Amino acid sequence: MIITQNKISKLNLKDERRFIFSLILGITLLGLLMVYESSSIYAFKTTTDAAYFFKRQALFFILGILSFCLTLLLDLELLRRYSKEFLLFTLFFLVVVVLLGKNIGGARRWLSLGNFNLQPSEILKISFLVYCADYCSRRKNLIRSVKAGLMPLGLVLGLVCVLLLLQPDLGAAVFWVVWLLIFLFVFKAKNKHLIFIIFSGLAAMILLIFQRPYRLRRVVSYLNPFSDPQGAGFQLVQSQIAYGLGGIWGVGLGEGRQKLFFLPAAHTDFVFSIIAEELGLLGSLGVIFAFFLVFHKMFVIALVSDNGFKKGILWGVVFIFFLEVLMNIGVSCGVFPTKGLPLPFMSYGGSNLIVHYILLGLFFNASREEQAGNK
């Protein structure tokens, strides 16, 4: 069924946005609870304050809401005008983090700012999104051309991927390649060009995997995590144990065992595994259904947009949220290889939570009814 602009009234648009915000707020509050549940013992051991990560996440939540409100007041035309400069600013910080970043777990992805760590790759979600939305809206008639349309954008993507690989963060590089493919499909790039990019990307990814032994071990452990349950497959094995312990009803809130130093990064990348253990299959499906409703409402709003730049913002935010949820839950279930990608609005992390509320603000800003139909 074709959805047209006339089928969604101004009142309905407001209702849709209220519904989306209410769901996101509920998801975030559940995330706050699960951050406390999954990190309290670890926090007490490392800082003697069981609520250490919870307090920080609560502060990030408040900052996220403030950022969301400020983004609603942002002039999108001004953001569009300086999209190149904004991306260059982010790329500069990606270079800085490679040279001077804080090394955690063998990766340089954070800049230390006193008691807080800034992750420039999170800011990239805003700047690269805005740049691509502007680029595709300006060159919409050239997107079907390799030389005039795809190649310049491909060079920018290549630079982004190189800087991410230097951190190293292969998962983030793959994320942006997949995201841009879907984004270009919306802007009607030729299928044969997209297929070529897919196969080229797969070849490059295979080469990069074999280039570093630890990446190859991750792939092997993904195929059979129980072949090395104490090594490369440890996280995935412990995550699957959490799913098994949870069963249908869950072991009960606060009664989970995997957070007792069995599952590493339980409050960050694998918070969904703790949800599966403590709230069971029903609780997990409830969270997935809440995300599904968010995506459905956002999809409907994006579908009726006829403005090139705002259309890019709307679809870009939808794809970022969707791919992150898909990849995070897929990793915790063992569908995808292990990748350090947080669950939006639920995993612990200041940069991630604040940036996602900014992205939500951009989506709401671009979908305001008084702007619909403007070129």
- Mind listing the pLDDT tens digit for each residue in 133-155? 999 988 877 787 777 778 889 89
368 vs 292, more confident = 292
Q: Indicate the number of domains in the chain.
A: 1
The per-residue pLDDT for 369 is: 54
Is residue 371 included in any domain, yes or no?
Answer: no
DSSP string, 195-250: HHHHHHHHHHHHHHHHHSHHHHHHHHHHH-GGGSTTTTTHHHHHHHHHHHHHTTT-
| Separation of alpha carbons 238 and 276, rounded Å | 12
The per-residue pLDDT for 12 is: 77
Q: Mean pLDDT for the chain?
A: 86
H or E segment to which residue 324 belongs: helix 308-333
Is residue 172 included in any domain, yes or no?
Answer: yes
Is residue 240 included in any domain, yes or no?
Answer: yes
Is residue 216 included in any domain, yes or no?
Answer: yes
pLDDT higher than 80, residue 30: yes
User: Which domain range does residue 265 map to?
Assistant: 5-366
Give helix 10-47 / helix 350-366 axis angle, nearest 10°: 180
Q: For a pLDDT cut of 70, what percent of the chain falls above it?
A: 93
| Separation of alpha carbons 228 and 136, rounded Å | 45
Is residue 262 included in any domain, yes or no?
Answer: yes
Is residue 374 included in any domain, yes or no?
Answer: no
The per-residue pLDDT for 2 is: 47
Is residue 218 included in any domain, yes or no?
Answer: yes
Contact 33, 254 (CB under 8 A): no
212 vs 1, more confident = 212
Is residue 340 included in any domain, yes or no?
Answer: yes
| Separation of alpha carbons 196 and 202, rounded Å | 10
- Summarised one tens digit per residue, pLDDT across range 112-125 is 777 778 888 899 99
- Summarised one tens digit per residue, pLDDT across range 42-80 is 888 888 888 999 999 999 999 999 999 999 999 999 999
